[in-house]
Amino acid sequence: MKLSRKHFLKQMSLLAALSSPAAYSLYHNKNEDKEYSPSSRQRFNMCGYAAPKIETVRIGVVGLGMRGGDAVERLSYIDGAEITALCDKYADRVEAAQQTLKRMQRPPAQSYTGEEGWKALCDSNNVDLVYIATPWHLHTPICVRAMQHEKHAATEVPAGKTMDELWQLVETSENTRRHCMMLENCCYDFFELLTLNMTRQGLFGEIVHAEGAYIHDLSKDWLFNKKAYADMWRLKENIGQNGNLYPTHGLGPVAQCMNINRGDAFDFLVSMSTNDFTLGPLANELAAQDDFFKPYAGKPYRGNMNTTLIRTRKGKTIMVQHDVSTLRPYSRIHLLSGTKGMAQKWPGPPRLSFSHKWLTPEEFRQMEEKYTPDIVKHIGKIAKEVGGHGGMDFIMDWRLIDCLRNGLPLDQDVYDAAAWSCLFPLSIRSVSRKSKPVAIPDFTRGAWQTNKPVTLSLQGGATTGVRNIKPQLKM
């Protein structure tokens, strides 16, 4: 078929317009986003939504390995929370969790085991909240089934691995009016809460740039540890996926300070990864010594360091890094840079600056005492005694239960879960395109312009006590 001169020139103009990386990527993402979202309008705004009060929150915990097993004990301290169901693929883990309940003077829970035991738990009628600590690929399916069966869902990070999954979470939450919260515990760490409160008080002025990270060498002790992750699932996630696979620990706290989904929104990202210089060689080395590791030798592991840059709708920037396979001290960075001051947590101790130098330790202590938020004053001491990453895990769990019991909006809603988690698939896409810009969809579908910022207010809440299992735990 012969092309007319007019049609030929039109095609050449389109190709020329898409020749730049930004234009090419944004054009294709615009079309790709249409397949992700079957609805162009928000069905119901879950931001600021207060579900009906639940006097006693009945909890089903799915996934009883490291994170889930610890959660059973932490949740057992909270008044008004009752663990009514336990589920894991492995029966011995369920039994271990039952023993935890016994030690915590709690009644036994209904047990579910096997590959699909979680489905029966979600279908049951004795659970209000499904608390999910499974391998990543199960996070979205369990959340969706829980919400479809009239239960709230709280999942470990990330909330989903694909854009389809994240949109499914958003639309299911809106359709069912059930909460879907990502258990991003780092939002409840003490310095992160302090800087959130200082941001709300205007001490940093307008936040124009932020940085977060997950830099934590997991290679030998965790990724290649036969006893760490069941079926080596965490190691497998690092094969064939080159991008930021774990963005939310660094991103969540700074996103809250910058009012993402609540006054501003992500616009697009660019992402770049190094080659892999450690995981592949380590897999080959271990395979030469132990046949168990032979299936993991010669595989395309993700690059050691990934750096992703985000630009927001209001022209601000965020850098997020991911590296779990080189010899570096642990860091989440947590840097906020504003027009009047800045804060940074790593490297070194937490620091504040409102000039060209850091505050002295005494000046920092005075600021900390003045701006420590009410939630830390109320539950912080007990949280440190209960434990869980220094106490932030317990603050998160207590806050979730207190909000459900008092009918308060959650600090992290389904739009946060989707927006923070989408760096997983979108960074992979950018890296695969030689770091071309990739558009980030607006999961709120315009509601970010009027949604109210997170304040962690205790008004109407803070009525949930802590059980005095240990003598030192007193409200």
Give domain limits for the chain: 186-373+409-449
Model confidence band, residue 467 (pLDDT cutoffs 50, 70, 90): confident
Phi, psi of 14 (to 5 degrees): -65, -45
Give buried/exposed letters for 415-435 (b at 16+ CB in 10 A, else e).
Answer: bbbbbbbbbbbbbbbbbebeb
Q: Which two tokens stand for residue 68?
A: 């889930």
Instruction: List beta partners, residue 170.
Output: none
Q: How far apart are the first and last CA of the chain?
A: 81
Q: What is the pLDDT of residue 222?
A: 97
Mean residue pLDDT across the chain: 92
Name the DSSP letter for residue 104.
Answer: T
What is the arithmetic mean of pLDDT over 363-392? Answer: 96
Q: What is the pLDDT of residue 470?
A: 62
In percent, the amount of the chain with pLDDT more than 70 equals 90
- CA–chain centroid gap for 416, Å, is 8
Q: What is the pLDDT of residue 453?
A: 96
What is the arithmetic mean of pLDDT over 179-200? Answer: 98
Tokens 């057992």 locate to 76
Of 84-93, 126-135, 431-440, 453-462, the range with the lowest mean pLDDT is 453-462
Residue 459 has pLDDT above 80, yes or no: no
Contacts of 337 (CB under 8 A, 6+ apart): 204, 207, 208, 209, 210
Q: Tell me the CATH number for domain 186-373+409-449.
A: 3.30.360.10
Is residue 245 within 8 A of residue 432, CB to CB? The reply is no
Of 6-10, 69-73, 356-360, 362-366, the range with the lowest mean pLDDT is 6-10
Contacts of 227 (CB under 8 A, 6+ apart): none
* 257-303 confidence digits (pLDDT tens): 999 999 999 999 999 999 999 999 999 999 999 999 999 999 999 99
Is residue 239 within 8 A of residue 300, CB to CB? The reply is yes
What is the arithmetic mean of pLDDT over 424-441? Answer: 98
C-alpha distances (whole Å) from 368 to each of 194, 325, 350, 374, 383 are 7, 34, 10, 12, 18
Contacts of 138 (CB under 8 A, 6+ apart): 62, 63, 118, 132
C-alpha distances (whole Å) from 33 to each of 29, 420, 441 are 6, 17, 7
Amino acid at residue number 41: R
Rounded-to-integer distance, Cα 74 and Cα 68, Å: 10
Single pTM value for the model: 0.91
